[in-house]
Amino acid sequence: MSRQRHKSPAVTLPNGVHRVVARAREYFYYQAGRGTDHAGPRIKLPNNPHSPEFWQAVRQAQGITGPVPTDTINALADAYETAWPTLPRKLSDATKEQYRRSLRVVRKAWGQLRADALRPSHVQALMEGLAAKPGSANNVLDALRAMCRWAMGPRELLSRDPTLGVAHFEGGEGHKPWTAEQLRIADKNFTGMLRRAYVLARYTGQRISDVVRLGWTDIDEGGFALRQKKTGVRPWCPIFPELEAAMASWEKRPGPFLTQDNGKPFSTNQLWKVFNKAREGHPELADAVWHGLRANAVIRLRHSNRTTSEISDAIGMSPPMVERYSRHADRKAGGKAVLLEMATQNKNRTVKH
């Protein structure tokens, strides 16, 4: 009978912590300066890196003296973050990074507070303190709410939800679409992989984290079908004639459309660096961002008399967000309609002497 090897889900270990496998079992140790002439003592840690006890032991090994609380906001956040690989619904890397940033705000505010002592009034006060940046405040609330809901129920790490009744700030109009002048500059000056990324983002309306992943194998009957990295949504994005014409000259090969000089795919950050360098010579593009092209794609479809539901399906964007991005276009169209109607009335009016 063969023995099954035990292996914990992947987790990033902090500096000084190393994993040892012996006789099909995992063991974890902390040793400062391991492998150097000034290595510290080797300290045994609990065997489950996804437990709060593991991270409490790490803190103690790193020099924290005295008892480490097991029921604080910091401990709860540690337990939640280390449990991400085991969640039934996996979080994308982008969501994890956003949650980490948001939970750092939570830790700073109440890190040593007993988790069960956190109340909606505390959360509301924090939200009001972040009111100058409503988007960031909403992100903090989302991360805290996700953590608290994870901690409740069968895990019994929290007895109540301190985010209950706390509302999001009303969202703004979303990222600004590129102006006609900015689009003209990009059409005239962007070349190579930057131009390829630009036309993909402009005519698909996808996030740049998904644009860098698009390739020939993602085409399904005249459109792109790619699971979005951030949300997991799988839209069917039609390939419009402008994009189809651009793609006609692209080489047919496996992998993504966007590759660096060394043949490796672009990461989101690498593509931002290329874009930022191109913007240096064009001050008109100073406030243009990749996400703004997502708004341009929505407005283009709105001008084609597509419904909110149809735009949502094509872009992979929630209906409320489609409405948010469409506000400027709808207002402008409404104003022009009023102007046209008034001009027609004036033209048809008969003046008698």
Which tens digit of pLDDT belongs to each residue from 329-341? 655 555 555 566 6
- Residue 337 has a pLDDT of 53
- Residue 142 has a pLDDT of 93
Q: Averaged over 236-248, what is the pLDDT?
A: 93
The residue with greater pLDDT, 321 or 255, is: 255
pLDDT band of residue 273 (cuts 50, 70, 90) is very high
The residue with greater pLDDT, 52 or 276, is: 276
CA-derived radius of gyration, the chain: 26
Reduced to 3 states (helix: H, G, I; strand: E, B; else coil), residue 300 is helix
Q: Averaged over 54-76, what is the pLDDT?
A: 73
With a cut of 90, say whether residue 206 has pLDDT above it.
Answer: yes
- Residue 260 has a pLDDT of 93
Residue from 351, 210, 336, 186 nearest 275 by CA = 186
The residue with greater pLDDT, 70 or 149, is: 149
- Residue 342 has a pLDDT of 64
- Residue 332 has a pLDDT of 57
- Note the pTM of the prediction, 2 decimals: 0.58
- Residue 89 has a pLDDT of 82
Q: Write the pLDDT tens digit of every residue in 148-182.
A: 999 997 888 898 999 999 998 876 556 789 999 99
- Residue 84 has a pLDDT of 87
The residue with greater pLDDT, 212 or 347, is: 212
217 vs 211: CA distance, rounded Å: 13
pLDDT band of residue 12 (cuts 50, 70, 90) is low
Long-range contacts of 84-91 (CB under 8 A, 24+ apart): 85/9, 85/10, 85/11, 85/50, 86/9, 86/50, 87/150
Residue 237 bridge partners (DSSP) = 224
pLDDT band of residue 231 (cuts 50, 70, 90) is confident
Q: Averaged over 35-49, what is the pLDDT?
A: 86
Q: What angle do CA 150, 155, 160 make, to 5 degrees?
A: 65
- Residue 6 has a pLDDT of 47
Amino acid type, 27: Y
91 vs 99: CA distance, rounded Å: 10
Comparing 42-56, 127-141, 241-255, which segment has the lowest mean pLDDT?
42-56
Average pLDDT for the chain: 85
Element (H, E) at 50: none
Q: Measured in whole angstroms, how far is the alpha carbon of residue 53 from the centre of its chain?
A: 30
Lookup: tokens for 106? 């939570």
Q: Hey, what domains does the chain have and what are their CATH numbers?
A: 1-66 (no CATH), 69-171 (1.10.150.130), 180-336 (1.10.443.10)
Share above pLDDT 90 across residues of the chain, in percent, rounded to a whole number? 46
Q: Measured in whole angstroms, how far is the alpha carbon of residue 31 from the centre of its chain?
A: 35
221 vs 205: CA distance, rounded Å: 18
What's the sign of the alpha-carbon dihedral 264, 268, 269, 273?
positive
**Exposed/middle/buried for residue 72 (C-beta within 10 Å: 0-12, 13-18, 19+):** buried
Lookup: tokens for 136? 């960031």
Q: What is the DSSP letter of 156?
A: -
With a cut of 50, say whether residue 198 has pLDDT above it.
Answer: yes
Lookup: tokens for 150? 């994870």
7 vs 261: CA distance, rounded Å: 38
With a cut of 90, say whether residue 1 has pLDDT above it.
Answer: no
Q: Averaged over 284-297, what is the pLDDT?
A: 93
With a cut of 60, say whether residue 350 has pLDDT above it.
Answer: no
Distances (CA, A) of 327 to 99, 172, 254, 317, 332: 29, 10, 39, 15, 8
pLDDT band of residue 274 (cuts 50, 70, 90) is very high
Q: Averaged over 33-62, what is the pLDDT?
A: 81
Residue 18 bridge partners (DSSP) = 29
Q: Averaged over 46-62, what is the pLDDT?
A: 77
In sequence order, the 6+-apart residues with CB closer than 8 A to the CB of 200 are 206, 211, 214, 243, 257, 258
